[in-house]
């Protein structure tokens, strides 16, 4: 069920974004696909923050397209002549991401709201990761659920588990890291220079939230995970955190794409309930 729903969502996303990043070495002009006038401005800032942090980390094999121009209507970046990912390129992605995640940031969250795909993403700056994820990630998405019965079901679990969930996440997060925030396979392109990150939903949080999303839709080879773990091994509670962090994304897809995601949401919610 989850993989079928994910395939449908990927088709929708690819249709929306057109993924016109392929082609010659000319510019790609992306039109605003959403009803939010600042969506492309948020995307541009996310690309710039990613690029700056990768540079600070000394990462040379993981790339971010340069923002040439941006407005409420259009984002102009170089086209990327993308193709299949080699094992070497997947390893470069894992290594570069781990190096970026290893850069210790001062706070969790972000200093401005932005977007997660086609949904608004609410941010603030804080030193309490668990409370941030509970309130600004899970709480926001649960509050957006249109079905009152389902919304109350999820609210009841979060209310009952709020203290334990926040404690667990704080205990098992080493430090704030810059996250891509929407790291599914459609948001990584590969060309002769290596991997490129696109369409970010950046904020500062637990690095394993990024890795968790790579497993939600698949598309990342074992070379990616081996390279990541060589540089910055995942924690021994990663499997539990994967379900918690992917609850945010499955809720977002449920709110965007409908009931085919509800069973995945409930599966992840069960992990929260069992803490």
Catalytic residue among 11, 18, 111, 182: 182
Is 11 one of the annotated active-site residues of the chain?
A: no
End-to-end alpha carbon distance in the chain: 25
Query: What is the full DSSP assignment across the chain?
Result: -HHHHHHHHHHHHHHHHTTTT-SSSSEEEEE--SS-TTHHHHHHHHHHHHHHHHHHTT--SSB-----EE-SSEEEEE-----PPPHHHHHHHHHHHHHHHTSPPSSEE-SS-EEETTEEE---EES-HHHHIIIIIIIHHHHT-S-HHHHHHHHHHHHHHHHHHHHHHHHT--S-EEE-S--SGGGEEEETTEEEE-S---EEE-THHHHHHHHHH----HHHHHHHHHHSPPPTTHHHHHHHHHHHHHHHHHHHH-GGGHHHHHHHHHHHHT-
Q: CB of 201 within 8 A of CB of 114?
A: yes
Among 211, 209, 205, 197, which residue's Cα sits nearest to residue 48? 197
Give me the active site residues, please: 182
């Amino acid at each position: 069920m989850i993989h079928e729903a994910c395939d449908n969502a990927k088709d929708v996303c690819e249709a929306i974004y057109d993924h016109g990043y392929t082609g010659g070495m000319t510019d790609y002009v992306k039109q605003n696909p959403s009803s939010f006038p600042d969506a492309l401005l948020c995307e541009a800032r996310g690309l710039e923050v990613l690029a700056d942090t990768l540079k600070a980390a000394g990462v040379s094999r993981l790339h971010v397209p340069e923002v040439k121009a941006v407005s409420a209507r259009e984002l102009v970046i170089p086209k990327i002549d993308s193709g299949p990912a080699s094992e070497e390129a997947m390893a470069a992605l894992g290594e570069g991401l781990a190096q970026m995640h290893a850069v210790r940031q001062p706070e969790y969250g972000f200093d401005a709201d932005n977007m997660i795909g086609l949904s608004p993403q609410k941010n603030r700056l804080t030193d309490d990761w668990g409370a941030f994820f509970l309130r600004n990630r899970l709480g926001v998405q649960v509050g957006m659920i249109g079905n009152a019965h389902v919304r109350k079901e999820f609210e009841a679990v979060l209310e009952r588990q709020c203290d334990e969930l926040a404690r667990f996440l704080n205990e098992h997060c080493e430090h704030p890291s810059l996250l891509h925030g929407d790291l599914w396979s459609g948001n990584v392109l590969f060309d002769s220079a290596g991997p490129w990150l696109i369409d970010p939903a950046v904020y500062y949080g637990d690095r394993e939230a990024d890795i968790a999303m790579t497993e939600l839709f698949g598309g990342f080879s074992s070379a990616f995970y081996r390279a990541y773990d060589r540089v910055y091994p995942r924690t021994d509670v990663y499997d539990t955190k994967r379900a918690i962090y992917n609850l945010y994304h499955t809720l977002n897809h449920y709110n965007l794409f409908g009931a085919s995601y509800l069973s995945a949401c409930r599966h992840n919610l069960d992990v929260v309930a069992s803490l």
